[in-house]
């Protein structure tokens, strides 16, 4: 059964650095929930989230609107973990001290997998391969189970000496070739033959630890492993070698969430109990803190990342859910690729209205000065009713994957805004719109630039209509 809820209300929060912006999403309305279960499709459009002691929700448009789905009927459950195939059609959803549910049609109908028989199980960790064929489900002391036929049948798989242990973090590489399963107060195990054989991998040597989170890329080469009351570790060779990451100094923390994009370049990691979130866009070489809700310490329990790293999802226990990019991104309706000539190519649509009037013009972006990691935008502002300007940028024309509000309003003359943390020797496309209260104006002109080579003390200047 499915119940249509409502369009999500959004607000934006400036991030610590300019290349990521967040917005709150409200599947259950404007209330706090114990968000611990979440997953998304490869393109980030289909999202499944669940709350402990609450309900389960699905979005098919990147979090713009939500529908309640009821695998276990019209009742609150301890939704503990979820996973889905790349196309979002096959989903697994676990209830702690309950059942493991499967849908093969994007949540329209659900069935009890009975992976461990007709019994309630303390399900904790789930993973599904991109093609939806390989599924792995772990429990607290009740076994580790695998399906190699999309959930039609299941069997128990037992790495050496692990009977009765607590399986918690579980992940499958995008190509389905690498399976990782971690034990809380135990070891991490890896299989490359659908669970027929397992080998131990040791981020911290020959010792047990309370593993809470695991992540890997499409090929199973780049990995992250985080421990409860311990450290965060990274591997770039399939778990053969590891190094410690000290994102918040030399201290033990409760690393609860970790994700890696398909190509292994974008990584997200966070810890709970007054925790923080960190983002890397260069395979873990450098990291920056990102703040979905300002400088507030949350217990991050849920995270998901689209394969192409264009959408992030994070959730805090007893708090809220956040997505990046800003909610204006999935709400942008551009007819750039549309055959309907009556559409406005520069229209920006929001999912709500506050009664304000949209700005009647767009900022004129006329010059960009670029170094190897920065771009300073010069634009002619509006003099009327304007409360902010939004800068969007990406790697191709019309690509608006990154964005930030400038916190500048109406003015005369010329304004400038600097974007930091760009990649050296990389082409970027920039575009802006003005905003009055909650209402956006139309997209302005788009400009393309290429940053300087790494470490080169060179300033590239680009001008509108220059053809560069």
pLDDT of residue 346: 53
pLDDT band at 64 (very low <50, low <70, confident <90, very high): confident
Size of the chain in residues:
468
pLDDT band at 355 (very low <50, low <70, confident <90, very high): low
- Give the three-class secondary structure for 457: coil
Tokens of 18: 């300019």
What share of the chain has pLDDT > 70, as a percent? 88
Asked whether 28 and 7 are in contact (CB, 8 A), the reply is no
HSE-CB for 202 with a 13 A CA cutoff? 6
47, 51, 266 from 393: Cα distances, Å: 24, 34, 17
Q: Check whether 54 has a pLDDT greater than 50.
A: yes
pLDDT of residue 295: 78
Mean pLDDT value across residues 66-87 = 95
Is residue 388 packed enough to be buried (19+ CB in 10 Å), middle (13-18) or exposed (0-12)? middle
pLDDT of residue 29: 87
pLDDT of residue 5: 37
Strands (E) in 340-464, as ranges, are 364-370, 375-380, 388-394, 402-405, 415-419, 427-436, 439-440, 446-450, 460-463
Which residues of the chain are in CATH 2.130.10.10 domains?
2-330
d(CA 204, CA 230): 10
Backbone φ and ψ of 78, nearest 5°: -90, 75
Q: What is the DSSP letter of 451?
A: P
Asked whether 184 and 139 are in contact (CB, 8 A), the reply is no
pLDDT in tens, 387-420: 989 888 889 998 877 777 788 888 889 999 999 8
Asked whether 98 and 78 are in contact (CB, 8 A), the reply is yes
Out of 311-315, 363-367, 409-413, 449-453, least confident range = 409-413
Which residues of the chain are in CATH 2.60.40.10 domains?
337-463
365, 377, 440 from 384: Cα distances, Å: 17, 21, 13
pLDDT of residue 298: 85
pLDDT of residue 30: 84
d(CA 114, CA 70): 17
- Give the three-class secondary structure for 331: helix
Out of 89-98, 341-350, 403-412, least confident range = 341-350
Mean pLDDT value across residues 112-139 = 96
Q: Check whether 238 has a pLDDT greater than 60.
A: yes
Asked whether 309 and 268 are in contact (CB, 8 A), the reply is no
Residue 2: strand pairing partners: 69
d(CA 380, CA 408): 12
Asked whether 187 and 203 are in contact (CB, 8 A), the reply is no
pLDDT in tens, 210-224: 999 999 999 999 999
Sorted by sequence, the CB contacts under 8 Å of residue 295 that are 6+ apart come out as none
For residue 128, the Cα-to-chain-centroid distance in whole angstroms is 17
pLDDT in tens, 251-301: 999 999 999 999 999 999 999 888 899 999 999 999 999 988 877 788 899
DSSP letter string, 243-298: EEE-BTBSS-B-EEEEEE-TTS--EEEEESSSB-EEEESSTTSS-EEE-BTBS--B
Helix, strand, coil % (nearest 5) of the chain?
0, 45, 55
Residue 215: strand pairing partners: 224
Superfamily of domain 2-330: YVTN repeat-like/Quinoprotein amine dehydrogenase (2.130.10.10)
Mean pLDDT value across residues 325-346 = 37
d(CA 224, CA 214): 6
For residue 137, the Cα-to-chain-centroid distance in whole angstroms is 22
Question: In terms of pLDDT, which residue wins out, 341 or 360?
Answer: 360
For residue 61, the Cα-to-chain-centroid distance in whole angstroms is 14
Give counts: helices (H), strands (E), the chain. Answer: 1, 39
Would you identify the CATH topology of the domain 337-463? Immunoglobulin-like (2.60.40)
Asked whether 344 and 440 are in contact (CB, 8 A), the reply is no
Q: What's the N-to-C CA distance of the chain in angstroms?
A: 54
Tokens of 149: 């036929």
Q: What is the DSSP letter of 441?
A: -
d(CA 315, CA 260): 17
């Amino acid at each position: 059964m499915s119940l249509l809820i409502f369009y999500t209300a959004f607000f934006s929060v400036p991030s610590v650095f300019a290349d990521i912006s967040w917005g709150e999403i409200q599947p259950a309305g404007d209330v706090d929930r114990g968000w611990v279960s979440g997953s998304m499709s490869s393109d980030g459009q289909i999202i499944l989230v669940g709350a402990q002691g609450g309900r389960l929700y699905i979005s098919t448009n990147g979090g713009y609107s939500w529908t309640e789905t009821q695998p276990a009927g019209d009742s609150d459950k301890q939704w503990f973990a979820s996973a889905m195939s790349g196309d979002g059609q096959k989903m697994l959803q676990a209830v702690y001290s309950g059942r493991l549910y499967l849908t093969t049609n994007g949540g329209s109908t659900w069935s009890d997998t009975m992976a461990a028989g007709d019994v309630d199980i303390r399900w904790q960790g789930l993973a599904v391969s991109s093609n939806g064929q390989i599924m792995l489900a772990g429990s607290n002391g009740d076994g580790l189970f695998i399906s190699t036929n999309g959930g039609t049948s299941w069997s128990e798989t037992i790495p050496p000496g692990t009977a009765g242990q607590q399986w918690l973090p579980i992940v499958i590489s995008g190509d389905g070739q690498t399976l990782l399963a971690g034990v809380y107060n135990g070891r991490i195990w890896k299989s490359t033959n659908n669970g027929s054989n397992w080998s131990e991998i040791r981020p911290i040597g020959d010792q047990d630890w309370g593993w809470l989170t695991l992540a890997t890329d499409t090929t199973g080469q780049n990995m992250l492993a985080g421990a409860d009351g311990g450290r965060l570790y990274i591997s770039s060779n399939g778990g053969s070698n590891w190094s410690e990451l000290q994102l918040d100094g030399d201290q033990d923390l409760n690393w609860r969430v970790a994700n890696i994009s398909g190509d292994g370049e974008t990584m997200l990691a966070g810890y709970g109990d007054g925790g923080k979130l960190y983002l890397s866009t260069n395979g873990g070489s450098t990291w920056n803190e990102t703040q979905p809700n300002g400088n507030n310490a949350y217990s991050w329990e849920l995270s998901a990342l689209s394969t192409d790293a264009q959408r992030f999802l994070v959730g805090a226990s007893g708090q809220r859910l956040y997505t990046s990019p800003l909610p204006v991104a999935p709400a942008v309706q551009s007819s750039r690729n549309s055959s309907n000539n009556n559409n406005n190519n520069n229209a920006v649509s929001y999912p709500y209205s506050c009664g304000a009037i949209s700005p009647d013009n767009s900022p004129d972006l006329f010059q960009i000065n670029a170094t190897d990691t920065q771009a300073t935008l010069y634009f002619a502002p509006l003099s009327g009713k304007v409360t902010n300007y939004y800068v969007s940028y990406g790697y191709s024309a019309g690509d608006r994957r990154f964005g930030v509000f400038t916190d500048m309003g109406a003015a005369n003359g010329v304004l400038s805004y600097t974007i930091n943390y760009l990649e050296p020797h990389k082409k970027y496309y920039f575009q802006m719109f003005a905003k009055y209260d909650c209402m956006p104006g139309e997209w302005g002109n788009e400009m393309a630039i290429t940053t300087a080579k790494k470490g080169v003390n060179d300033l590239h200047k680009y001008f509108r209509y220059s053809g560069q």
